[in-house]
Structure 1
Amino acid sequence: MSAAETDDIDAVPARRPARWHIAVFLAPAFLVYTAVMILPLIETLRLSFFNVVAGQMQFVGLSNFQTLFGDPRLSADFWNALRNNVIFFIIHMLVQNPIGIALAAMLSIPKLRFAAFYRSAIFVPTLLSFVIVGFIWKLILSPIWGIAPWLMDLVGMKWAFAPWLGKPETALVTVSLISVWQYVGIPMMLIYAALLNIPDEVLEAAECDGITGWSQFWKIKLPLILPSIGIISVLTFVGNFNAFDLIYTVQGALGGPNGATDILGTLLYRTFFGFQNQMGDRSMGATIATVMFLIILAGVSLYLFVIQRRMRRYQF
């Protein structure tokens, strides 16, 4: 065999063995996720195009959507819930995420004492059950047996106390702030991890240029963690437009008082399962769920295909 033929044989890359074990390990999670998430989603989307006619399920096309947006009662409830959901989301974006970023920035200070304790204390509420959180805050803010009036009286501010959960103009803001208190630890930890991921060489170069303290955070650290802030914003959007549990625990399925805290999740629950004198309607409930899915899909797509592409990325 000539030397040229030997070189040709050596140049042929060796075949990599098939990695079937990857599919084996992924199969259980994929099957569970498909059974719990994908198949119910497909069935919900399908059910929104059907309705009970003469005791049988029949395809009605977009008739359910026309009813949702055309019926005076249903459309009024839907637009009220959507407006409340948008306010719920805006409060989280303007309060929860900035506080989470500020807490992460302070906890990332190298010389801060008891930083681990502070991180744990702030993150613990996210591990609590929403039932416990809702019940505790209802007790705290109760004008009859709550401790909030007493605590405000200690600092001479009892005059400012009001039954915030019972007033339509303050109930939604109050429930939103309760949710912020419970979940502020999530953006805090994600931003904290992003700050720790910044190379020391970048920070040392900034210090050599005289950029220290909060000036270093605004000019160096904040631009570097913008991708993480974007991801947190998307998670906040998806979580808020899927919200149900805390509102249901604190204000009930009706989203009281007078629908002031009614969001898409509670409206979906009442419509699908029925509540008190309202009969459940699976097709209309699936229609509301489909609209919620489309809203979330539109928001996530806007971030992925518009905002994220324009966001400057930093690689080290």
Structure 2
Amino acid sequence: MAARKPVRWHIAVFLAPAVLVYTAIMIIPLIGTLNLSLFNKGPDGVQFVGLANFATLFGDPRWSASFWNALGNNAWFFLIHMLVQNPIGIALAAILSTPKLRMAAFYRTAIFIPTILSFVIVGFVWKLILSPIWGIAPGLLDLVGLKSLFAPWLGREEYALTTLALISVWQFVGIPMMLIYAALLSIPDEVLEAAEMDGITGASQFWKIKLPLILPSIGIISILTFVGNFNAFDLIYVAQGALAGPDFSTDILGTFLYRTFFGFQLQLGDPYMGSAIAGAMFGIILLGVCIYLFGIQTRLRRYQF
């Protein structure tokens, strides 16, 4: 008679606290929000309306214009992070992983420090720096002879969102840098030594050997960037307020959700339509994560050790 495998109760014991906390602060509120999006106020009080709130959000011009504007701004916000933040993070990691580089630990710390700063501090400080009245940006540009390029970037519709995205890049570039740095250090020395014996060194070694081996880590960074940017709210709210000015040019799904759910100034809060916006955000993020998990990650596994 075959011996029965012992039940590994210790796994459940170690996972239980995290599962309970995550369920309490994430799963239950998510289910409640999705449930609330299926109701609305009617002549007889709150009543079940099914997907009518979503039909209003996507089909009613009064709602759809704001939603698609916020979604487009969110997509641009995410694209800047993908095209600027992540490549810079990869480049910094490649440079800082060079064995001969002096003070590499200091540089890593200095680049990573902004990620632990509060959004309130970052937004307020950068508003002061870029202020055309008392900011230091005009003076700094004047020192290098580029004062003519200065403009009130946070006050112009065509520049405000890009400026905020670049501020966010400055704050969070340390995260992809550290993740890629860790991935580069995990590459076995035997692989690099074999490449050196074949005459592959320097930049050529990075492009031909290291980059393919860290593709799984780059994929993880990409999906984290996607989820983080489509959940963004704090920096826009701190820098531009709930109205996401000028003229809603920096409005993203997070600020649109905030104004709709809680209300702002003369706009009354509507928790039912706000829940519909939150449900749409959840669907967008879920779709992006599923595309990554089933369409991209499976192809990157062959590069893992």
Question: Which interval holds the TM-score relative to the shorter structure?
Answer: over 0.9
Task: Show the 5 A alignment for 1:64-103.
Answer: 64-103=53-92
Task: Show the 5 A alignment for 1:128-277.
Answer: 128-277=117-266
What is the alpha-carbon distance in structure 2 between the residues aligned to residue 19 and residue 305 of structure 1? 30
Aligned 8 A contact 2:216 2:304 in 1: no
Aligned 8 A contact 1:227 1:313 in 2: no
Amino acid at match of 1:178: I
Alignment CA distance shift 1:57-1:118 (3 Å): same
Task: Show the 5 A alignment for 1:31-46.
Answer: 31-46=20-35
SS at match of 1:100: helix
What's the counterpart of residue 4 of structure 1?
Answer: none
What's the counterpart of residue 7 of structure 2?
Answer: 18
The Cα of 1:226 is off from its aligned counterpart by: 0.4
The Cα of 1:291 is off from its aligned counterpart by: 0.4
What is the alpha-carbon distance in structure 1 between the residues aligned to residue 215 and residue 180 of structure 2? 10
Match of 2:113 among 109, 121, 124: 124
SS at match of 1:311: helix
The Cα of 1:310 is off from its aligned counterpart by: 2.5
Per the normalisation by structure 2, the TM-score is: 0.97
Amino acid at match of 1:108: S
The Cα of 1:55 is off from its aligned counterpart by: 5.5
Post-superposition Cα deviations, 1:254-277, rounded to whole Å, max 9, x if no partner, equal 111011100000000000000011
What is the alpha-carbon distance in structure 1 between the residues aligned to residue 288 and residue 137 of structure 2? 38
Amino acid at match of 1:47: L
What is the alpha-carbon distance in structure 1 between the residues aligned to residue 207 and residue 115 of structure 2? 28
What's the counterpart of residue 3 of structure 1?
Answer: none
> Share of identical aligned residues, percent?
77
Alignment CA distance shift 1:77-1:315 (3 Å): closer
What's the counterpart of residue 54 of structure 1?
Answer: 43
What's the counterpart of residue 9 of structure 1?
Answer: none
Alignment CA distance shift 1:102-1:38 (3 Å): same
What is the alpha-carbon distance in structure 1 between the residues aligned to residue 113 and residue 267 of structure 2? 38
What's the counterpart of residue 309 of structure 1?
Answer: 298
What is the alpha-carbon distance in structure 2 between the residues aligned to residue 106 and residue 283 of structure 1? 50
Provide the aligned C-alpha RMSD in A. Answer: 1.2
What is the alpha-carbon distance in structure 1 between the residues aligned to residue 292 and residue 18 of structure 2? 27
Post-superposition Cα deviations, 1:59-117, rounded to whole Å, max 9, x if no partner, equal 10111111112222211100100000000000000000000000000000000000000
Which of these two proteins has the greater Rg computed from alpha carbons? 1
Aligned 8 A contact 2:141 2:147 in 1: yes
The Cα of 1:15 is off from its aligned counterpart by: 3.6
SS at match of 2:46: strand
Determine whether 1:107 maps to 2:96: yes
Per the normalisation by structure 1, the TM-score is: 0.94
Post-superposition Cα deviations, 1:285-314, rounded to whole Å, max 9, x if no partner, equal 000000000000111111111112223523
SS at match of 2:303: coil
What is the alpha-carbon distance in structure 2 between the residues aligned to residue 115 and residue 209 of structure 1? 28
